[in-house]
């Protein structure tokens, strides 16, 4: 996962190498703090919109938002603690107390493992939300179970590889991040593709104006998923080209926050779109379904041809 100094403190041979590691950790901590600020900002807006809709699904998303912000806080705390440990280690090495630097180095090593493990778990939770969204959009399709099963297998594989990369090997490996790219790309393709197809069918049947209603949903899906994919790709490229570069540190620090920013962004964008559409006579459509819903996923049954995914009688359905 994160490029780390494995083995012993003896691998740090020069002050220049030590300064490189310190700079990397400081960049990671700074990017994490900045990303956490954005995450908290979006979290406040998500709570504001979620509490407007009194349904079991909105309460579920409320609990999920709280869990995700706690994950974000835990990871930014670990990033700051990691940088602090490395600064202390640098100070001790600079004073010639190399043996005294072993204790902060061991603490740094355990902090790094905890950070990597939390990132893997956090990523699996966020991917589960994206899978839920995908299943909602596929709805009563006969292929929904296949889509859900394949996607769930990819999510569990990504989690397993993440844990293997953290505890199973000493050296860093890009395999968990490559798997995360594959998983999110598949989820994005399945979700966006289904929305595009339904939007195209709606345009043919009801005209361009009705088809435009799908654009908002497609924008929400693409902007949230692409944000994560871009950060993972930047981290992969930068870590391969230069393992402890400034860009790699920034990408690693920001990545854990982006994992939580993505679902917060989805909740906020859906809430903003709902407010822009005006009051909904049936608010259960936003984060939950009608009592008459026959869908297994708890939302209003929607026609494959004529019912927009985002707007129905002025109200936004679950995304």
What pLDDT digit, counting tens, does each position of 274-312 carry? 777 655 444 444 344 333 333 333 333 333 323 333 333
pLDDT tier for residue 15 given thresholds of 50, 70 and 90:
low
In degrees, to the nearest 5, what angle opens at C-alpha 70 toward C-alphas 69 and 73? Answer: 85
Give strand pairing partners of 312: 315
**Coil, helix or strand for 311?**
strand
| Residue 159 lies inside a defined structural domain of this protein | yes
Q: What is the pLDDT of residue 305?
A: 29
Residue 40 located in a structural domain = yes
Q: Which residues contact 16 (CB under 8 A, 6 or more apart)?
A: none
Separation CA 212–CA 209 (nearest Å): 5
Q: Is the pLDDT of residue 319 over 60?
A: no
Q: Mean pLDDT, to the nearest integer, of 215-229?
A: 86
The pTM assigned to this predicted structure is 0.79
CATH number at residue 226: 1.20.1070
Domain count, the chain: 1
Domain that holds residue 277: 11-316
Residue 5 lies in a domain: no
Q: What is the DSSP letter of 291?
A: T
More confident residue, 237 or 55: 237
Give the up-direction half-sphere exposure of residue 313: CA atoms within 13 A in the CB hemisphere: 9
C-alpha–C-alpha distance, residues 151 and 149, integer Å: 5
Question: What proportion of the chain, given as a percentage, has pLDDT over 70?
Answer: 81
| Neighbouring residues of 314: CB distance < 8 A, sequence distance ≥ 6 | 277, 278, 279, 280, 281
**266 compared with 280, residue with greater pLDDT:** 266
CA 195/CA 44 separation, integer angstroms: 28
Sign of the four-CA dihedral 30, 27, 118, 180: positive
Q: How far is CA 52 from CA 162, 284, 297, in A?
A: 37, 11, 21
Contact 144, 135 (CB under 8 A): yes
Indicate whether 289 belongs to any domain: yes
Cα gap 315→277, rounded to integer Å: 7
Residue 3 covered by a domain: no
Tens-place pLDDT, residues 33-56:
999 999 999 999 999 988 887 788
> Is the pLDDT at 184 greater than 80, yes or no?
yes
Lowest mean pLDDT among 12-26, 188-202, 237-251, 298-312: 298-312
Q: Per the domain annotation, does 1 fall within a domain?
A: no
**Which H or E element spans position 316?**
strand 315-316
**Comparing 306 with 109, which gets the higher pLDDT?**
109
Kindly state whether residue 206 falls inside one of the protein's structural domains. yes
**Residues 190-215: pLDDT tens digits?**
999 999 988 888 888 887 777 777 88
For 116-127, what is the mean pLDDT? 94
Which value, to the nearest 10 degrees, does the dihedral of the CA atoms of residues 1, 121, 288, 228 take? -10
Q: Please report the pLDDT score of residue 151 as a whole number.
A: 95
Angle at 262 between CA 249 and CA 188, to 5 degrees: 105
Average pLDDT, the chain: 80
How far, CA to CA in Å, does 84 sit from each of 81, 107, 154, 228? 5, 10, 36, 27
Question: Is residue 240 pLDDT above 50, yes or no?
Answer: yes
What are φ and ψ of residue 78, in 5° steps? -65, -35
Q: Is 60 exceeded by the pLDDT of residue 11?
A: no
Which of 88, 109, 111, 107 has its CA nearest to residue 32?
111
In a domain, 222, yes or no: yes
Q: What is the pLDDT of residue 87?
A: 87
Q: Which of 74, 304, 99 is nearest to 204 (CA)?
A: 304
The Cα–Cα gap between 236 and 243 comes to 10
Note the pLDDT of residue 282: 46
Count of Cβ atoms closer than 10 Å to residue 313 Cβ: 11
269 within 8 A of 220, measured Cβ to Cβ: yes
Per this entry, what is the length of the chain? 319
Q: What is the pLDDT of residues 63-107, one digit of tens each?
A: 999 999 999 999 999 999 999 988 888 888 777 777 777 888 889
Confidence band, pLDDT 50/70/90 cuts, at residue 16: low
H/E stretch holding 312 reads strand 311-312
Q: Are 190 and 147 in contact (CB under 8 A)?
A: yes
What's the pLDDT band for 180 if we cut at 50, 70, 90? Answer: very high
Name the band, by pLDDT with cuts 50, 70 and 90, for residue 12: low
279 vs 246, which has greater pLDDT? 246
Lowest mean pLDDT among 13-22, 33-42, 199-208, 224-233: 13-22
């Amino acid at each position: 996962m994160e490029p780390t100094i494995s083995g012993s403190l003896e691998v740090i041979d020069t002050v220049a190498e030590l300064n490189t590691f310190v700079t990397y950790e400081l960049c990671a901590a700074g990017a994490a703090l900045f990303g956490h600020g954005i995450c908290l900002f979006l979290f406040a807006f998500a709570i504001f919109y979620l509490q407007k809709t009194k349904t079991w699904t909105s309460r579920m998303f409320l609990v999920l938002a709280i869990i995700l912000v706690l994950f974000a806080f835990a990871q930014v705390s670990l990033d700051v603690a990691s940088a602090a440990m490395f600064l202390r280690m640098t100070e001790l090495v600079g004073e010639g107390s190399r043996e005294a630097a072993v204790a902060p180095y061991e603490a740094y090593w355990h902090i790094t493992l905890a950070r990597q493990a939390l990132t893997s778990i956090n990523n699996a939770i966020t991917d589960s939300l994206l899978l839920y969204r995908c299943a909602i959009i596929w709805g009563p399709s006969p292929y929904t179970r296949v889509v859900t099963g394949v996607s769930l297998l990819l999510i569990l594989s990504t989690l397993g590889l993440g844990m293997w990369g953290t505890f199973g090997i000493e050296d860093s490996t890009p395999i968990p991040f490559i798997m995360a790219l594959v998983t999110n790309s598949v989820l994005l393709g399945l979700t966006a593709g289904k929305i595009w197809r339904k939007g195209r069918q709606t345009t043919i049947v009801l005209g361009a104006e009705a088809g435009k209603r799908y654009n908002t949903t497609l924008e929400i899906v693409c902007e949230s998923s692409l944000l994560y994919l871009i950060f993972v790709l930047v981290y992969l490229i930068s870590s391969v080209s230069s393992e402890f570069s400034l860009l790699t540190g920034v990408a690693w620090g920001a990545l854990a926050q982006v994992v939580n920013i993505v679902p917060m962004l989805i909740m906020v964008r859906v809430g903003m779109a709902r407010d822009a559409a005006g009051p909904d006579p049936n608010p259960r459509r936003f984060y939950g379904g009608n009592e008459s819903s026959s869908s297994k996923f708890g939302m209003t049954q929607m026609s494959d041809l004529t019912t927009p995914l985002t707007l129905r009688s002025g109200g936004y359905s679950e995304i």
